[in-house]
Structure 1
Amino acid sequence: MTDPFVIDTPEKLAAAYEPPHPRFLAKVTDRLEATSVAFIAASPFCILATSGSRGPHATPRGDAPGFVVPLDERTLALPDRRGNNRLDGLHDILENPEVALLFLIPGVGETLRVQGSARITADPALRARFAVDGKEPATVLLVAVREVYAHCAKSILRAQLWGGRERPPGVPTNGQMIAAHSAGGRIDPEQYEAEYQARIRAQMY
């Protein structure tokens, strides 16, 4: 018997939700501009999403803020620090280079999503660049950036993930990131931020 409530087509999915505001569809960029670089520099933690023949994997990656380094506006370098050596994500990348990164900053509701393709390198100069206490990572992941997207704070606020922790100074606001990422038309970052703060609390559920 077919379950009439199962959503199994794009049409059924679209019928279950209101269409996205055009502003949300436009707030994507294809490079690491200044606000993205600043956000990544302040982030001590990200989640690396990969997918291979054994299915998807989401791997936590963390270190001192700025441990992921933009080499240029299209390339991110992520050192592979010591772990359990299962290498699930790296095996996935060998099969399928498509990856996604989700950057988080304690005290900040917004997150930063980066999508692209990755390759693994054991380049001695890069490994040396990421040495900590004289210990180099075995490899460095190089991500060719294709899409950068600032994600709103609703999920973090609903979870009360950071409690009362305050936003660190210098982290760009959502308004600043949206203004920098949006295609077509100028967005005033201060006005957007003020409207965003009011809207997000009114639309939490």
Structure 2
Amino acid sequence: MTHEQSTFGGTPVTTVEELREIIPPPLDTAANKVRPALHELDRQWLAASPLCLVATSDAEGNLDVSPKGDPAGSLVRVLDDRTIAIPERPGNRRTDGFLNVLANPHVGLIFVIPGRGDTLRVNGRARLVRDAPYLADLQVRRNVPVLALEVDVEEVFHHCSKAFLRSRAWDPETWDAESVPRRAVLAHTLERPEQTLAEVEAHYGPGYAETIYG
């Protein structure tokens, strides 16, 4: 089955004309809100955001989306109105997104502020840098990042709240952390079957938060 086929009874939409018959073109306010550089209000948003989702693709179009998180003010550095940098922190060392950037520099980023339904979207071209003088300013606890993802901004715009309003993501009454097995159970079942559940529980126990910066 190709991406243009469906075995589940749906009718594929394969042309722009078909798509626009279903979803009309956007209003001018939405179509024309994309800007090529950061505004002071964008800078304020970036300074307040502790969470970013980074979308990348390799040369063949295989995709990856990676969350990046730090205390607000340490997540991203604005270098100028057309350049931002996101520090690398200790993780699982898969470097999926970084490997993609080496093959294809195009990236898409969504910056989130908890409690806010709107988001800031940035599209551009990225590169990996080390030994940058600003990395020392992005220290959190004892961690000084050894790499940063520098992004040349090509498009920036704010996105409305509809998705967060529909999902009620910030409404504590909708939260149900126990709706799926806890992280240790997932890891034991899918990633670490050679370890006992008790060993995996210990890994993700109270001390886990103390290891997130190395």
What TM bracket, shorter-length normalisation? 0.7 to 0.9
Partner of 2:131: 123
Amino acid at match of 1:152: C
Residue 41 in structure 1 maps to residue 47 in structure 2 = yes
Q: Shift of residue 18 of structure 1?
A: 2.0
Partner of 2:116: 108
Select the structure of larger CA radius of gyration: 2
The 2-side partners of 1:129 and 1:39 are apart by: 19
Question: Which of 50, 56, 59 is equivalent to 1:50?
Answer: 56
Amino acid at match of 1:65: A
The 1-side partners of 2:165 and 2:92 are apart by: 32
The 2-side partners of 1:65 and 1:127 are apart by: 16
Residue 32 of structure 1: SS of its match in structure 2? coil
RMSD: 1.8
Question: What are the equivalent positions in structure 2 for 1:1-205 lying under 5 Å apart?
Answer: 5-53=11-59, 55-66=62-73, 67-163=75-171
Q: 1:126 touches 1:140 (CA, 8 Å); kept in 2?
A: no
Q: Which stretch has the larger CA shift, 130-139 or 54-63?
A: 130-139
The 2-side partners of 1:82 and 1:143 are apart by: 20
Amino acid at match of 1:8: T
Q: Deviations over 1:40-73 (max 9, x none)?
A: 1111001000000461000000010122111110
Amino acid at match of 2:65: A
Task: For CA contacts below 8 A with separation 6 or more, give which structure has more relative contact order.
Answer: 1
Amino acid at match of 2:81: E
The 1-side partners of 2:169 and 2:113 are apart by: 11
Moved over 6 A (4+): none
Equivalenced residues, count: 164
Unaligned runs of 5+ in 2: 174-214
Q: Deviations over 1:96-135 (max 9, x none)?
A: 0000110111111100100000010012523322222232
The 1-side partners of 2:101 and 2:171 are apart by: 35
Q: Shift of residue 137 of structure 1?
A: 1.3
Identity of aligned residues (%): 40
